[in-house]
Every structure is written in C-alpha cells, then in structure tokens.
Amino acid sequence: MSTPLSALSNILSSGIATIESAYANHGATFPSMDEPFQPGSFEEDETLCQTIDHVIAAASQLIALVKPAPRTVVESAFSFYLSASLQVVVSANLPEILREAGPQGLHVKDIGDKCGSDPHKIGRILRYLATNHIFRELSPDIFANNRASSVLDTGKSVVTLKADPVAKYDNTFGSAASVGHLTDESMKAGVYLADNVLDPRTSTSQELADSPFSCTFRCGTMFEFFEQPGNEHRLRRFGAAMHGTSSPGALGKISNGFDWASLKQNALVVDVGGGFGSATLHLMKDYPHLRYVVQDRPKVIADAVKFWENEDPDALKSGRVELKGHDFFEPQPIKDASVFFLRGVIHDWPDAYARKILKHLRASAQSDTKLILNDFLVPYAAYSNNLFSDIPGADVPSPPYPLLANLGTVSNRAVMTDLQMMVIANAQDRTIGQFIDLVDGTGWKLGSIGRSPKSLRSILVFHPVQV
C-alpha cells in the first residue's frame, strides 16, 4: 500500500485530470479565481461533483498532513479573524465598491474614502482575506474582487445600499445575507460557546433560553431578539438569507429520495413550518397533481399570502395551495395527509421539543402517511461499518484511501451548521444514529434516505410504526 502522502497526491493528480477533461468536453475551461463566480450548467453532474469533493478532501488532508501540528492549531485558534474580517467588508459594502471600481481595482485610500473608514485598517483586513483567497491584491495596496468575494456582492449600487441599508439584502441570492447573519449576531453568540458548554447549569439543558445566543443577548429566542426595536435590519437580513437557501439549487433536490410522482391525484402534502412556502412552490411546479397546505405561525402566513400572490396567485385561487396558521407544538388538525413535509424545521429544536412536534404529527397520521424531513445529515468522520445497512440510502461508497469517511472539510458545512444550531437555539443537526434515537417512542421509524450531489441536505423518509 502506498504512503498517505503519495496516495493523497495520486487522488489530486487523477482528480484534476478528470475535472479538466469534463470541462473540456463541454467546451469550457475551469474558472479562474480572478473571475466572478458563475455556476456552470453541467456542474451538477454526480460524477464530477464526487471528483471535486475528493480533490477538496485530498488537498485539505494533504495540508493537514504536511503542516507542522503547532501551526495547525495556532492558525485554527486565530481563524476567528476570518469571520470578523468578513463582517467588516460586508458591512462596509466593499464587494460592491470594488465591483464598481472594475477589474483594475482600487487603492486602499480610495476604498477608505468610499466606505468612510481608516484606509490603513481596511487595507490590512483586505490583505488578510486576500491571503486566504478572498479578494486579491493586484499590486501593493490595490485590491479587487475575485471569484470568492464576488459571492458577497449584492449586485446593488453603493448609492442604493447607503440610501436604504435596511433593505440591503432584499431580492438578493442570499449568500451575502448569510455571511452578514453569521458574522454578526451568530459570531457574537459563538464567542460564549465554551462558557455555555462548560457551565453545569446550561451544559445539559434543552431549554431554548439556555442557548449561548439567548444568554449573550439576554433574550428568549433568536426570533424574539429579531423582533426587538433596532433589529429590523437583522430580521430582514435573516429573511433574505433563508429565502436564498430556498432557491431551486439550494433546496437539495427535494425530489431525490422519494417518489413524489407515485402519490395519487390530489394527495395532500402538508408543509409543516413551511414559512412562506418556498419549498412547496418548487414541489408544486414539479408535481402539479398534488394538493398542498403550507402551515406556519399566523404572522408568517400573513406575509406568505403576499409571496404567493406575487409568485403564483392561481395556486391560491384554485385551492391547489392553502395557507394556514398553525403552531406545530399543538395537535395537528389535518388528518388526511399523505405526506407531512418538514424542511429545516427539526434541526431548529432540541430533542425534547422535536419529539413533541413528531408525536403530534403521528397522532394525525394515517397508516400510510409519510413523514419527510429535508435536513442536513451530519456524516460521521469514522466509518460506520455497515451499522445502518438495513436502511436504504444510509450507506455511501467509501472514499479512496486515506480520506476520512466524511471527506473531511467537504463536510464542514454540515458540522458547522450543527454548531450553529447549538449556539443560536440549543438545537442540533443530526447523524443517522441521532435521527433514529430522536424518533424512538414518537411512533415513527426511519425507512430510507435520499441524497443529492453538491448538497449535504438529505431527504429522510419515515414511516408510521403500526401499533
């Protein structure tokens, strides 16, 4: 067997050759880091996605292998400055300032003038980010956008952003809004993660008020914090971030893992805690033979009406889609659902609260009703050794030696989101084993798992346990 060093090198060289060949076959070249980000129409190909993931995993593992351990841990401890620096550039509209400056870039003195901040400090922050491949320094003290920083660009003019900063992220893709949310209130709360986890009073608590977020801002939940005076911009930003995750590409291919087409004509799908109904909108377009109910808090449903009147007013008029106020901690009033669908809901709640939701749904389910969760599935860094082989879709092909079972940093989004939920809501994203434990005693059983390329969000299908 080859050494880990040479094996990682082989994965990189063969993977790069495969990637370049795939682009060449489509008459394209792999995008430069200096170009704005543009998603490729063929980049959803499952084989290409897997190859790219293997290259990312091998490259990051190779760095971890050859970098001296003291450098690894010290640089990791310093890494909070990456988030802090991103907060600065997003808040100061630097991606938009540099986009308007054009490919020739802009000197830090001019950047400082345009954003109203010390050019020396702005330059140091941009240089740190450029050192980590976000932005680029074209020549000493002259900076421009690159592929990564372009994702932070709202696409709006600087004049527009300054005129109405509260609406900065309205009608944007969502990436910049997500970074704003993560590097502002989330990062402030994350500072107290260790205090929270090591405090005997809060360590084992499943109460929402005992989350690091609630303790940091002395509020109930994050949503109560958003509704406080002065946080209007945070609420709008969070809404834009969440709407961005509901784009067709970000939905994690909710048709994967369940045969929606097999449901009978006019079968009822209940989108529980569905917000405005963004996921339902995409499902309805693919499966118009079904009926849909979107449930959420009455205040959310009032705004959802406006969303549907803009997106598809005929769906409401025809009754194909209904919007209903409902608290999912109360008994579920709908008794004839073919599917209870929850997207990104269960990960918002600690186990004790999540079980209440699931028990109410089971009490209203028919013998053939399906419970479908569209959530992040946290992959184990260790191999499961066929521990869940009885569940279709649970096992995935093992990556080549010596990659970690979860491909290391390829799974960062899942494990980071898990910590995010711990910080803001005392909740969690879950592994397969944790989902199995969660539904134990609720009347549901995990039946299958569907996955999608380029997404860690999975479709988990649960069946009623017959009493």
Per-residue model confidence as pLDDT tens digits over 184-231: 999 999 999 999 999 999 999 999 999 999 999 999 889 889 989 999
pTM of the complete model:
0.91
pLDDT at 254: 77
Type of residue found at 215: C
Banded model confidence at residue 364, pLDDT cuts 50, 70, 90: very high
> CA–CA separation, 97 vs 61, rounded Å?
36
pLDDT over 80 (residue 440): yes
pLDDT at 289: 97
> CA–CA separation, 355 vs 94, rounded Å?
44
* 79-163 CATH, one of 1.10.10.10, 3.30.420.40, 3.30.420.10, 1.25.40.340: 1.10.10.10
The mean predicted confidence, pLDDT, of the chain is 93
* 260-464 CATH, one of 3.40.50.150, 3.30.70.100, 3.30.572.10, 3.20.20.150: 3.40.50.150
Banded model confidence at residue 467, pLDDT cuts 50, 70, 90: low
CA distances from 270 to 217, 238, 248, 267, 337 (A): 34, 24, 19, 10, 7
Model confidence over 314-352: pLDDT tens digits? 999 999 999 999 999 999 999 999 999 999 999 999 999
pLDDT over 90 (residue 422): yes
Burial class of residue 77 (count of CB atoms within 10 Å of its CB; 0-12, 13-18, 19+): exposed
Sign of CA dihedral 129, 134, 138, 142: negative
pLDDT at 252: 46
pLDDT over 90 (residue 40): no
pLDDT at 134: 98
Among 321-335, 405-419, 443-457, the least confident range: 443-457
> CA–CA separation, 422 vs 211, rounded Å?
7
Model confidence over 159-195: pLDDT tens digits? 999 999 999 999 898 899 999 999 999 999 999 999 9
CB of 281 closer than 8 Å to CB of 254: no
End-to-end CA distance of the chain: 52
Check 54, 181, 326, 347 and give the catalytic one.
Answer: 347
> CA–CA separation, 122 vs 411, rounded Å?
32
Model confidence over 236-245: pLDDT tens digits? 999 888 876 6
- Domains of the chain, residue spans: 4-73, 79-163, 165-244, 260-464
> What is the DSSP code string of 225-252?
HHTSTT-HHHHHHHHHHHHHTTSTTTTT
- Is 347 assigned a catalytic role? yes
Question: Same CATH topology for 79-163 and 260-464?
Answer: no
Please state the rounded mean pLDDT for residues 265-290.
Answer: 95
Model confidence over 71-98: pLDDT tens digits? 999 999 999 999 999 999 999 999 999 9
pLDDT at 174: 87
> CA–CA separation, 347 vs 108, rounded Å?
42
User: What is residue 27's three-state secondary structure?
Assistant: coil
Banded model confidence at residue 256, pLDDT cuts 50, 70, 90: confident
Q: Provide the 10 A C-beta neighbour count for residue 272.
A: 25
